[in-house]
Amino acid sequence: MSKLIQALLTGIFITFILDFFIFLGIKLNYIDFYEIDVYYNILFADHQNIYIFALSSILLGLMVSYLPNKKITLIVLSFLALLSLSTLIHGVGNTIGADILMHKNKTLKDTKHSFMGDIYYNGRTTITFYDYELKKMITLQKKDLI
């Protein structure tokens, strides 16, 4: 039983490190690039998919602990590390950030105005929005929207 727990904890640790670099690349190359006001911790916590994290943790932990051929394990982990580190490249991080966070051609309404544009970030209390009519980024409070 202890080797199974060790495998799970190892998988969680490896997956956490890979996720850290993915979200760091998104923060540096998408969030900071568009000057969106959000902290790394909130970005990480709000957009972490628990099912993917759990499945990755289990698979990586079992692979590291139980796979007898360590060469395959090293190759897989190196490949995953290169993929997660690739988000630190501006084009890759910006594209992945846009794929995850951006919603194009949306209409938002409050009591007085109607806004048409792209949602760049949908936060806990605010939405960072590019308005086509104003041709600039605006921040909308979620509580004010209909």
How do residues 62-118 score in pLDDT, each as one tens digit? 999 999 999 999 999 999 999 999 999 999 999 999 999 999 999 999 988 899 999
- At 21-57, the pLDDT tens digits run 999 999 999 999 999 999 999 999 999 999 999 999 9
Burial class from Cβ neighbours inside 10 Å (0-12, 13-18, 19+) for residue 45 reads exposed
> What separation, in Å, do the N-terminal and C-terminal C-alpha atoms of the chain show?
53
Phi, psi angle pair for 114, to nearest 5°: -120, 130
Residue 146 clears pLDDT 90, i.e. is over it: no
Give the pTM.
0.90
Cβ atoms of 26 and 43 closer than 8 Å: yes
Four-residue CA torsion sign, 32, 38, 42, 46: negative
φ/ψ of residue 109, rounded to 5: -130, 140
